[in-house]
Each structure stands twice: as structure tokens, then as C-alpha cells.
Structure 1
Amino acid sequence: MRLSRPRLSGNWRGGAPLLWLAAFILIGLPMLLVLAQAIFPKLFDATDPSIAPSLDAVMRLVTSPRLLRGIVNTIVLGIVGALASTLLGAALALVVHLSDIRLRKLWMALPWIVFATPSYLKGLAWVLLMSQGGYLVYLGILSPPQASSFFGPPGLLLVMALSLFPVPYFIIRARLEGIGGEYIDAARMASAGSMRTISRIIIPMLMPAIGLSLLTTFAEIIGDFGLANTIARSMNFGLLTYNIYAATSSFPVDFPAAGAQALLLAVLVSGSVMAAAASGTQRDARFVSGRNRPLRRYRLGAWQLPAVVLLMLIVVLSAVLPLLAVTLRAFTTSLGGGLALTNFSLSAVRAVFDMSNVAGQALMSSFLYGVVAALMTVAFSALFAFKVSFASKRVRAIAVGLAMITVAVPGIILAFGYILLYDRVPGFTDLGLYGTRTLLVLGYCAAALPYCLIFMWSALDRLGPSISEASRLAGASPMQHLRRIVGPLIGRAIAAAFGVTMVRTIFELPMSQFLMPQAGPALPALIVDDFTQDRDAVACAMALVALLAVSITWGLVFASTRLNAHPKEIDP
């Protein structure tokens, strides 16, 4: 029998109007301004503002060859890239979790390494590898014409697939773990071979996960700004996200074009999310029961060596080559000098650790931004999620739904909304925040808030209502209950949310690019800018140092959560 939530009174009610208002200003208002900009093109016109609605900006998406080409490129790349990424991720999940493949831990770690590497670093790495003066040409693996042919749609598709296959891998792996071994055992008893079992039993059971993978990966591709601003830009392959940035950074600023493209991007992303919900790909397909048997892995036999070689090729292409290219460039003077001993130097790395240099300042500033944004976001999300947990079921559903929707919104749309809010809206412009570090940190907080809320709600859902009822009957206030009872119980979720927010902030490109403070660029914006200005050695050195520092920090956070999860017993 399901117990009803006890009725709460006084300070224990779920009302939190100030917290809702803060969340609306952080996320809701900028998003609404993007919508308003698309419907009222002259709303924020500097010379002749008007609230007259018009479809002129939207029609430009069709009449302008450049904008139309960017839209078509984005949609086609999203569809084909989603298919390629899902195929690669599904194949990896099936081989790793259904066979006796060797080096299993390495293959299971690969998606996490690729997923944790920012997309713009992957794009920059492939430029270093495949340009005419790049490493693969220097080593004689490719000829200059072959390397040049990479910079086109097929090359971009390859980079997309190698960058985003972890997303479908995670989704399909989770569904595989829910399939009981009795289904495969029944197929074996019916003398069905491995390929027939997979095609007739496993694949049909995985279809909801495959559909969700396609839709999720499509949304990731069309909303990605990192690859659009690096390798796609070097190919002169216009994409929707970069065209939005180009419209806001041009002179004069073209807010109508940016607003119309941002609206279209939001429609495409939200459409894929709604399609996932409407098609039933997110419904529970329950294969797990108390009588489930563990999956018995198939023996690869003679296919063991080819499978290992193929997976090793994926490791090299998706992780080893990009990280190796960034590392080599960080310790060399010029790209054209190749791997000659005289070309190796520590000058770029020294520049990163020189606090009088803009690179060193950007590195320190970004880590400071990451810590401050993580503290603010985790504190706000913990308090907000805690207060909402006492609200009615309808309010809780609305809050969770809004958080899930905003997670899917590309960061570039939210960043554009912040420009409109703090550079054009009266009252907010008087605050003087535009072009400051404070606004950049607020943007980071807004981008990470939905993720933190999901972390907190997932942890709070595991706590029974009797815990809060006991605290209330004992005379404790809600804040005392949060500080003394709930906080320690959800400590692992808080630590995970802090780590994810910090890492996300340090490598967040859209906010860093759109809300660049006058005091100096943040690390992601400086990396991309230095790379485009032929200062790629310093750019790679900054990226390498940041990746190492983040890896160490995340390792410490993970170790602390493991220690907290297994406390030592103390003898009385």
C-alpha cells in the first residue's frame, strides 16, 4: 500500500516564491526574450525600437542563401550524424556487454573519456591532425591532397560520430542491463545462433533505447557549438549555432537574424524531445524481475582478434589521436616543425603558468569561475529542490518537467537571451552587469542549474516522507532539517553536482564566448580565439593543463564519495 504524503503546515509548506522568481530570472526570462526577439524583430532595435510583430526575420531564414544553407547543413548533419553515432554506440554496447571481449575495462572506460572531452577540443585536435601541415601528413600517413579532402561533410560526420557515440552507448547499455538472461537462454535452447538471437530478440527489445538514442543524439548535434565554431568553421561549413554567434558578433549586431535562428533551433531541439516522449521511447519496458538470470556472454572465438583490433581502432581515433595531438602541440614550437627534437619546447606551458600572461590569467579565472558557480548553483538547487519536495504533486511535476526541458535547450540560446536581457532590457541594463565577470558567473549558474536540480531531486526522491515528519514533530525548522538530516543523506549527490558543475563551467564555450567580460576572456573562449589566431601551441597548453587539473579534481571528488559511502566502523 502506498503511503500518502503527510500534510505539512507553516514553514514546512512547499511555497518558495522568491526561489521561483530567481529561477525565472536566471532561465525563464532570457528564454522568453529569445522568443520575443523572433516575433518582434525590432523590439531591441537601437535606433527605432518597435513592438510591431513581423515575420520578416523568420522569412529571411528561407530567402537568405547563407542562412538557408546553414539550416539545411544542420538538419542533414544531425540526421546522418545521429544514425552514425547510434550505430557506433549500439555496436560498442552489444560487443562489450554481450560477448567475452578482452580488455573489457578499457572499452567501458572509453565512452567516459570521450564524453568528458569538450567538443571544441576534439575539433581543434582534428584540425591539427588533418591539416596540410598536420601530424598525419608529417608522418607520411596521409598525403596533403588526402588530408585536404577530409575537410568536408564526410570528415565532419566522422568527427561527429567519434565525438557523440557515448550518448547512445550509455542509453543502450542501460537498457541491456535490464534484459534478463532467460531470454537468451531460451533462444539457445531453441538452437538459435548468436546472430539470430541478437536480431530476433535483443534488437527488438532495444528498439525503444535505439529510438531515444537517435533523438537525443540529433538534439546534441544540432545544438553543439564547439564543433561548429572549430572544425566546421575551418571547413567553411556553416551551421545554425555558429550563424547565431556570427549574427550577434557582427557589426552592426543582427539581433533579428539571431533571434529567428535561435527560435528555429529551439523548435528543432524541443521537437526531438517531444518526439521521444510521444513515441514511447522513454516509457518503462520492464524486463527485470526477482527471477532474472544474469546475461551469459557469447564466446567470440575466432572473432576475438578482429573485434579487439576494431575496438582498438575506435580508441585510437576517438581518444588517443585527439589527446595526443593536443599534447604534442602544447610541447612544440610550431606545427610545421613536426616532431623534430629542435621543435620541442616548454614555452607554451610556461605561458600558461605565468600569471602575468593572459593565458595564465584565463586559466586561474576559469577555475575560480568554476568553484564559485558550483557553490552558488549547488546551494541554490539544493534549497530549491528541498522546498519543492514539500509542494503538491502537481507543482513537483511542473518543476521537474521544466528542469528536463531546459536541460535539452542548447547553451547558445540561453547565452543569447542573456545578451538581450542585460544589454537591451531597461532596468537590467541599469545594473551594469553586461561585460562583467559577475554576469558570466550568473550565466554559468543558469546553464548548470537544471542538471543540479535533477541531481538533487533524484537524491531527495530516495528519502521517505517519514524523515521530514519526524523532524517536524521534534520541533525542528525546515532549515535545521535540511542542514542536519537531509544534507548528510544526500551528500554524494551534492558532491557529484558540485563536480559536474565545476567541470562544465570550466569548459563551457557558449557562455564564455557570448558573455566575454571586459576584464579578459575565460579559458574556453581564449582557447578557440588563440587557435584561430595561429597561437595554437598556447591554446593546446591551456587545454592540456585544464584537462589534467579537472581529472585530478574529479578523481578526488570521486574518491571522497567512495570513502563516505563506506565509512569505517569505530570501536566503542
Structure 2
Amino acid sequence: MAGDRGAVRRARDWTRDWGRIWGGAWHRGDGTILAALLAAWVLGVSVWPLARLFLEALAPGADGVPLGLMAEVLEARSTGRAFRNTLAASAGSVVIATVLGTVLAFATGLLRLRGRVAMTFLILSPLLIPSQTMALAWIELSGSNSPVLRPLGLAPPPGTTNPIYSGGGIALLMGIEHMPLVFIALRAALATLPADLVEAARIAGAGRLRILTRIILPLALPSALAGAILAFAAAVGNFGVPALLGIPGRFPMLTTLIYQRLNGFGPSVAGQVAVLALILVALALGALGLRALVLSRLSVPLGRGAALRPLDPGRARLPLEAAIWAVLAVIAILPMLALVATALSPALGVALSASTATTANFHEVLANPTIRRAFANSLLLSALAALVCTLVALPFAWLKVSARAPLIRLLDWLVDGPWVVPGTVVALAMILAFLPPLPLVGSLYGTFAILLLAYLARFLPLVLRPVVAGAEALEPAQDEAARIVGAGPLRRILFVLAPALLPAAMAGALILMMTAVNELTLSALLWSSGNETLGVMVFALQYEGNSTAAAATSVLSLLMVLALALALDAMRRWLPPGTLPWRD
């Protein structure tokens, strides 16, 4: 009995001592416990799955030879073909993205044109439109039954293969999809050009063409190159466009090869596809490293000064505006019109007219319980991801900016990992990490939870970056005053930081929802029966040959994204500058 009382007393003393240590750390205001919790979250959700993937790829072969699995996969003919196709299509898309992005950025950034906000929104619309929806829209636009080209006599002859099912078609669509990356980089560079350089050139007698070629272009070139390299990194990890165009067109790429291997053989080939994923990671990280080198070596510090004002194009305004609207019609408007027309058609091949137009496809989609469940799942996943990422971003920003916790500064680099690497890689990493049973919960593979964890890891930077930027712009004296009067970390976050960062956090949450609600790259590998998402349903309907239902589902999902964008635009006066690229 005495021994039992001694054991109880020792346990009580141990608990009291540790309680003092942890409680003291919390009440001192240094956020030690909070930093430890965030570190455990980031390491468990973002870092460990990717590390597990890399370990799987570096495993020995069946004969025990070190790195034998990697050698086996790299020597396979299918790997070489997919690798070459990935490089070729990605390089072609970069050329298209760079040309389009540069021309549109200079036109809307340097010239005083009417409707610049509407132009900019349409230029950036490929960022809001999911890859699979864009591919489906172009399939309907360029096919022999095109509701737009067939009345004009421009559609391919009936019975011929749609020309978009090719490597060139993949490059074209990925170029259009990633063009906004070049556009944003260039527009940001043009916005920082000091007006006094141009004024000095004008005083010296330089004409507009000479100013453009000798002053503006050289200063903007590093940003254009950086945007082009970023477009390449995005292209190598693109899944939606290669899946809808490359699989039927027999043009395999690394992302679709991973999907087909896992879809055909399941987790038993996880090691082989991990090697393919490692190739994608190497390509993406190599591109991002080259981008950082370009910016560090070629960028010119311009100092401060009045920003360059848009120039008056004079008599050339009307033809320039017409040319820009014509380009936007081809890359943004006509494909969406073809998608809507297909959704309103009673069946493929039936010419759309006032007498044949029908909303039956929308009624069919909304009456389908699987599609309704996909809408509910996508909304729930995106909303939960937005909520949790906001709850993580606020203390993360406080620890980084106000507490200046060294551990958080390290985590700030690691948290971008799932966003930087291709989504297919993140999905595969989640399978490898959460397929083995976990204590108390078992395996998460094939559950709603693994989808949510993948979304949380992938999309956290979308909320974290605007929140951290907002925290860095706040007056530090407010947090210091709260600390002096004895407020702990939680009270300072809830009552000082959170109210000030609410607009930035809401903007990041809405951007996350716009990005995640139609997501396909993660969901294509992680979905299961009962956990379908909108992206998966569009993909499945198109492959079943039910193009009209796929188009109707895509139109409804785009309307949801448009509603979120309009809500975000309505809050623009409360948002930090630069949050809405189509406004800034």
C-alpha cells in the first residue's frame, strides 16, 4: 500500500513539474507550445508524406541492389517516352504562354485602354478555370460538332479526329492556362518602373519605340523570364489537360503515366510511380531554382519614385482594343461559349438553335445523386480546408512576425513544399504516408480524411501568404502593448492580430475555395466511392462519352467559382493591395 501511495505521489509531482514548465512557457508569451504544435502539424501533414515518397523512390530493387528500383523505372521505355513528351509539351506551352503573356501585359500595363479591368479579368480567368474544364471547353470548340465553328464552316470534317487530341493541342492549352503566370510577373514589373526614366528619355528626344526597346524591355526581361520558368514548372505537373487530351490522343506524359499505373495496379506499384514522381519534383525544383537565379542575377534594383503611368495610344487605341478583345475572345470567351452551347444541346451532333436548346442536361445533372454528392463533397472539402488553413495561418503569422520564432522561420520554407511540387506528387505522397494503418484510426486510404489532408497540405500557402504579408504590415506596437499588460499568445492572436488580419484571411480563404472546389489532380488519385469530387465527375462523365452532362456539370461549377470571385471583388476595399490581381 505504501508503495502504491509513493507511486501516486511521484506521478503527481511529475505532472506538476511538467505543468509548470509548459504553463510557464505559455504564459511567458513566447509561444513555445504554440510553435511546437504548429511544427507537429506542418511536419505531419506537409513534410512527412513527401519524405515518405522520396524514401520509397530510393528503395533497393528486387535483387537488393541499392537504388535498383530507380534504375529499373528510369530504364523503362514508357518512362523515356513520357519524359520526352513532358519536356516537349511543356516547352511548347512556355513559348505560347510567354508570347501571349508578354503582349497582353505590355498592352494593358503600358497603354491607357478602355475596359482594362474586364480585360485583365479575362486574361487571368485561366487561373480560375480548372484544367479539365478548359480542356473540355476546347474539345467542344475544336471538334467536328463544334457549336461555334460548325455554323461558320470552320469545323473539322465529320469523322475526323479532333486536332486538339495531340501534343500540339496539349501545349496550346497548357500555354493558355499558364499564360497568367507570365502576365502577372510582367505587370508587377511594369508597375514598379519609375516614371522619371521614361521622362528623361523623352526629354533626350527618344521616341516611344526606342523607349520601349531600350529602357522598358531590358528592365522587364528578368520578370518575363521568371514568369516563363514558373510556367514551365506548372506545365510539367499539369494533369487535367494531359489526362483529357493526352490519354485519348495516345500522348503519355509523366503525370498521366502515374495516374494510369496507379489506376491499373493500385498501391502495389507505389514504389515505381514514386520514382516517376521524383522526376517531376526534380524538373519542378530545377525550374524554380533557375527562376531564383534569374531574379538574383538579372534583376535591377530601381529604387523608389513615381510609378510609370499608362501612355495614351492616341489613334491606335481602337485597333489595339479590337486586337486585344479578339485574342481574348479566342482564348477565353469562345471556348466557354462552346461549353455552354454543348450543355444546352439535347445531344451531341444536334445543331443548337432556339428550338433545340434545352436545360434537360442541367436537370439530369442536378437529379443525379452521385453528382449532387460530388458538389457537396467539393464544397465541404474546400470550406473545411479554408477554415482549417485560416486557423493555422493566424498563429503561424503571429509566431513568424511578432514572436519571431526561429522554428517557424524554418517551417515557413517547408510549408510551401506541397504547393511547389506537382499535385500528382502530393497525392502519391499521401497514399504512401497514410495507406499503412495509423494508431486508433487505421488506414486513411480511400476515405474522406485523406482528401482533406491533401487539400490542407496543398493549399495552405494560399491563405498563409496574404495573412503573413498583412501581419508584416501591421504596427508592432499593438502586440507589444498587449504583451506588456500581460496578455498571453492566444489572447494577442484572437484580440489583436485576428481582427486586423480578417480581410486578408477571408481573401485567402476565398481564393483557396475558388482553387480547391474544382480540383482534379489530387482527387483523381485519392477519391473513392462516396467521396467523389466535381473534378472527378467531369473527368468521368467525359470518359463515359456523356459530353453534354460533363459540360453541364462544368458550367455549374464555373458559376460557383464566379460567385466566389464576385464576393471577393465586393470586399476589395477592405483587402490589402495586390490581393485581387484583376483590380491591381
**Do they fold alike, i.e. is TM over 0.5?**
yes
Aligned-residue offset at 1:220: 0.8
After the TM superposition, which of the residue ranges 267-276 and 112-121 deviates more from structure 2? 112-121
- Contact residue 482 and residue 492 of structure 2 kept, 8 A: yes
* Closer/same/farther in 2, CA of residues 413 and 322 from structure 1, 3 Å limit: same
* Closer/same/farther in 2, CA of residues 391 and 261 from structure 1, 3 Å limit: farther
Matches within 5 A, 1:280-319: 280-281=295-296, 285-290=300-305, 292=306, 294-295=308-309, 297-299=311-313, 301=315, 303-319=316-332
Instruction: Give the match's secondary structure for 2:419.
Output: helix
Q: Output one character per residue of 1:257-279: Cα deviation in whole Å (capped at 9) or x when no partner.
A: 21111001001101111112223
Separation in 1, partners of 2:210, 2:165: 39
1:3 maps to none
List alignment gaps of at least 5 residues for structure 1.
Answer: 1-7, 43-47, 566-572
2:333 maps to 320
1:189 maps to 203
Separation in 1, partners of 2:123, 2:69: 40
Residue among 215, 220, 224 paired with 1:201: 215
- Contact residue 389 and residue 464 of structure 2 kept, 8 A: no
* Closer/same/farther in 2, CA of residues 498 and 392 from structure 1, 3 Å limit: closer
Instruction: Give the match's secondary structure for 2:265.
Output: coil
Aligned-residue offset at 1:306: 3.8
2:451 maps to 440
- Contact residue 219 and residue 299 of structure 2 kept, 8 A: no
Separation in 2, partners of 1:59, 1:318: 42
Separation in 1, partners of 2:390, 2:444: 22
- Contact residue 400 and residue 409 of structure 2 kept, 8 A: no
Mapped pair 1:544 → 2:555: yes
Separation in 1, partners of 2:440, 2:139: 40
* Closer/same/farther in 2, CA of residues 379 and 363 from structure 1, 3 Å limit: same
Separation in 1, partners of 2:286, 2:175: 22
* Closer/same/farther in 2, CA of residues 191 and 564 from structure 1, 3 Å limit: closer
Q: Output one character per residue of 1:38-76: Cα deviation in whole Å (capped at 9) or x when no partner.
A: 11166xxxxx9x9x5643433345432222111111112
Separation in 1, partners of 2:26, 2:84: 55
Separation in 1, partners of 2:321, 2:196: 28
2:502 maps to 491
Amino acid aligned to 1:24: L
2:492 maps to 481
- Contact residue 31 and residue 489 of structure 2 kept, 8 A: no
Mapped pair 1:369 → 2:381: yes
Matches within 5 A, 1:120-135: 120-135=132-147
2:71 maps to 59
Matches within 5 A, 1:10-409: 10-15=27-32, 16-40=35-59, 52=64, 54-136=66-148, 138-139=150-151, 140-144=153-157, 148-251=162-265, 253-281=268-296, 285-290=300-305, 292=306, 294-295=308-309, 297-299=311-313, 301=315, 303-341=316-354, 343-354=356-367, 357-392=369-404, 394-409=406-421
Aligned length: 548
Aligned-residue offset at 1:386: 2.4
> What's the TM-score, normalizing by structure 1?
0.89
List alignment gaps of at least 5 residues for structure 2.
Answer: 1-24, 577-584
* Closer/same/farther in 2, CA of residues 335 and 281 from structure 1, 3 Å limit: farther
- Contact residue 14 and residue 389 of structure 1 kept, 8 A: no
- Contact residue 346 and residue 357 of structure 2 kept, 8 A: yes
Aligned-residue offset at 1:296: 5.0
Runs of 4+, deviation exceeding 6 Å:
none
Q: Output one character per residue of 1:256-315: Cα deviation in whole Å (capped at 9) or x when no partner.
A: 32111100100110111111222335986432424x3643515253x4444233212221
Identical columns (%) = 24
- Contact residue 182 and residue 231 of structure 2 kept, 8 A: yes
> What's the TM-score, normalizing by structure 2?
0.87
* Closer/same/farther in 2, CA of residues 300 and 416 from structure 1, 3 Å limit: farther
1:516 maps to 527
After the TM superposition, which of the residue ranges 278-287 and 319-328 deviates more from structure 2? 278-287
Q: Output one character per residue of 1:511-551: Cα deviation in whole Å (capped at 9) or x when no partner.
A: 21111133241111111111111122222212211221232
Separation in 2, partners of 1:126, 1:316: 13
Separation in 2, partners of 1:232, 1:182: 50
Q: Output one character per residue of 1:398-422: Cα deviation in whole Å (capped at 9) or x when no partner.
A: 2322234443111111110111112
Root mean square deviation, CA, Å: 2.6
Amino acid aligned to 2:541: D
